[in-house]
Structure 1
């Protein structure tokens, strides 16, 4: 036991002297959390498409064209500007064609192409959700103007009945309630970018420990430290455990620090505040399981490589690949179905789902237990492979004359 404690102290001393390694483990994910949480803030907000610049070009000048422009602005989605990335062009003849559209409906249904009344021109740099919001707002405004014209001029509906029908057909007055629900069915707050990026880059930081851990392992092996420890009777399992425990403490420190940044620092910079859910034990559980998976993978790589260059390249490549596939760099929700299916292969995706069970879905530790068990199993398999590879390499070394 005394030897194990001494080995752990040695690893902690090595970590404290490796300033570049600590910079990678703490400063880099912190910067990613701050930058990505602020950069993607509007992508997660339901009101991000409100108050957008819009240019209306009225080439008709008729009263129906004016009613259409007024209805478009009443939606609250746009603010009129002279030059904007979204332009709505009302063609000449809009009022006449809209007034006679009811009479020509049979011809249009018969296959005759219907002339366009409005063009919506959107710059290539406009996000897809903004394009969809602009298209929907234009169609709703056009439908409102046409419905008003039909009620007043075609059906000759009395004013009081028109008011009732106008109210009933207004999308804002439809009896539909939208809400986000947690694991227990209770209403929760809408997802935010910080709930995506804090867990995601926290997980990435844990797995990125493969580089300093593997590099230190290779250096010790090249200097003969590992051979001397084995000659003193230190077992391979004890040796691997003495490296795993200090990095587990580092991973927990990373988790506490990154969560604190999401709770207090990101809001100070204008971002959303991270909600931690209602299960501290669940956070510890999924964080510990993620650490076990990351350390197991790191030790497996450390035993397999033979140089510090290999450790850096292999460790970095594996971490980046798992992050790209696992929904860390690109949110899973925007991936196509085939890519979402691939995320199941990445332990980072399992960990991210576990953190979401706590901070997003407001579940308890039982909801995160499946992901925690999967991560723990992955970590134990990697540790077993590392121990087996270490034993084989020592056997080969002893047999070499």
Structure 2
């Protein structure tokens, strides 16, 4: 009967049902599309790059080819079928039309080749045993060349660093190849196989063998915002408890020969089913609605039971907070704003909005105290780290202990403060 009472209250509150079920799905779709677009603008799509070639030499051609070969950039050398200079490229980038412009300095190929040739000649002179063959050449002092990079002011710092590193590596690779070529010419060797120019050091990303894709915005947002929706039941749950106290319903309930814990158990069962329904609706959105919006589908795989288990215990933790808040609060004006604000704080601290690893060290330690962080880590263990039951068991235990503690505090407080 306690469970039936809770469902009757929820069914009669249409606005509350919309907040519990519709708003989280809208929030999930909106946030995922925004993050997906932001992510693709940096890494997922080919970014147009303005290239101003003042060099007109072989180095510029190699840079042009390498930028196009990476698959991440599209080299643009004309705007509206017209060539542009450095000032026009700078203006286009600062207007936000393009994210990046690369300006190669004049005489880059000529001066780089001359510098390499002079260095090789000095080395060859050191190894020459015939004094007659040594020809002292006048060394020309060359000025440093600046490759100007113009970034859109709205571009993230991490993107700027990555681009600078990529171009620096590209120029170094070009210079290395030219050095080998000049040595071959000086030694009179035509067979290029004498120098092994293969890159000896390579980087290989290693993860679980059965992980096929890198984590995406979808894999983060579906569990993260499902947790946010589940914990948002704190607001209606606490309001209902306060209503029962203010309207006299609680007085009638406690006059029955039934322990107070039974009424709390009824609320727990009712809202636990609601939290699972929220989670399953979010899964349906991720699996079936996302592909219609040209977003990657959320892949449940063979982890449905584990995901459901994490959602269940996360729901218990949220219910514990709601019951405790409703027991402590005396008015709706206290429970509603505090509950909503507290859930937002738990989400922010727990890593729902901002990943924990980018937080300051102090905040990373504080994040470990958030039940949302326990739930989110459990979902990560399942989806990204392919964890088994043993891996998620610590998070499940923490969530259950949190529920038990909040429920016990609520019961003890109610027994102490009850006047009827």
Q: TM-score range with shorter-chain normalisation?
A: 0.7 to 0.9
CA distance in structure 1 between the aligned counterparts of 2:194 and 2:211, rounded to whole angstroms: 34
2:32 corresponds to 1:34: no
2:309 corresponds to 1:271: no
Q: Deviations over 1:226-265 (max 9, x none)?
A: 0111122332211211211100110111111111211111
CA distance in structure 1 between the aligned counterparts of 2:194 and 2:332, rounded to whole angstroms: 76
Deviation, 1:34, is 0.9
**More moved, 47-56 vs 203-212:** 47-56
Q: Deviations over 1:27-86 (max 9, x none)?
A: 121112111222222666799255211011122333333333333333332112344220
**More moved, 12-21 vs 373-382:** 12-21
CA distance in structure 2 between the aligned counterparts of 1:330 and 1:287, rounded to whole angstroms: 21
- TM normalised by structure 2 equals 0.82
CA distance in structure 2 between the aligned counterparts of 1:78 and 1:163, rounded to whole angstroms: 34
Deviation, 1:336, is 4.2
Q: Contact 2:218 / 2:296 at 8 angstroms: preserved in 1?
A: yes
CA distance in structure 2 between the aligned counterparts of 1:269 and 1:73, rounded to whole angstroms: 29
**Cross-structure match for 2:378:** 354
Judging changes above 3 Å, is the alpha-carbon distance between structure 1 residues 199 and 187 closer, same or farther for their aligned structure 2 residues? closer
CA distance in structure 2 between the aligned counterparts of 1:141 and 1:211, rounded to whole angstroms: 55
Judging changes above 3 Å, is the alpha-carbon distance between structure 1 residues 160 and 29 closer, same or farther for their aligned structure 2 residues? farther
**Cross-structure match for 1:180:** 207
**Cross-structure match for 2:192:** 161
Q: For this pair of structures, how many residues does the alignment match?
A: 378
Structure 1 residue corresponding to 2:71, chosen from 71, 76, 99: 76
**Cross-structure match for 1:386:** 410
1:2-401 equivalences in 2 (<5 Å)? 6-41=1-36, 48=43, 51-81=46-76, 82=79, 83=92, 84-102=98-116, 103=118, 115-156=144-185, 158=189, 160-161=191-192, 165-166=196-197, 168-169=198-199, 176-181=203-208, 186-394=210-418, 397-398=419-420
Deviation, 1:387, is 0.7
CA distance in structure 2 between the aligned counterparts of 1:93 and 1:301, rounded to whole angstroms: 72
Helix, strand or coil at the partner of 2:368: helix
Helix, strand or coil at the partner of 1:57: strand
**More moved, 202-211 vs 271-280:** 271-280
Q: Over the residues paired in the alignment, what is the CA RMSD in angstroms? A: 2.7
Q: Deviations over 1:71-112 (max 9, x none)?
A: 33333321123442201111223224322444579xxxxxx9
Q: Which sections of structure 1, spanning at least 5 residues, go unmatched?
A: 1-5, 106-111
- TM normalised by structure 1 equals 0.86
**More moved, 316-325 vs 78-87:** 78-87
Deviation, 1:333, is 4.3
Choose 1 or 2 for highest CA Rg: 2
Helix, strand or coil at the partner of 2:330: coil
CA distance in structure 2 between the aligned counterparts of 1:208 and 1:34, rounded to whole angstroms: 17
Q: Contact 2:102 / 2:149 at 8 angstroms: preserved in 1?
A: yes
CA distance in structure 2 between the aligned counterparts of 1:389 and 1:284, rounded to whole angstroms: 32
Q: Contact 1:277 / 1:359 at 8 angstroms: preserved in 2?
A: no
Judging changes above 3 Å, is the alpha-carbon distance between structure 1 residues 45 and 123 closer, same or farther for their aligned structure 2 residues? closer
Judging changes above 3 Å, is the alpha-carbon distance between structure 1 residues 159 and 312 closer, same or farther for their aligned structure 2 residues? farther
Deviation, 1:162, is 6.1
CA distance in structure 2 between the aligned counterparts of 1:162 and 1:77, rounded to whole angstroms: 31
Helix, strand or coil at the partner of 1:55: strand
CA distance in structure 1 between the aligned counterparts of 2:193 and 2:153, rounded to whole angstroms: 40
CA distance in structure 2 between the aligned counterparts of 1:378 and 1:286, rounded to whole angstroms: 14
Judging changes above 3 Å, is the alpha-carbon distance between structure 1 residues 352 and 163 closer, same or farther for their aligned structure 2 residues? farther
Judging changes above 3 Å, is the alpha-carbon distance between structure 1 residues 314 and 61 closer, same or farther for their aligned structure 2 residues? same
Deviation, 1:155, is 4.4
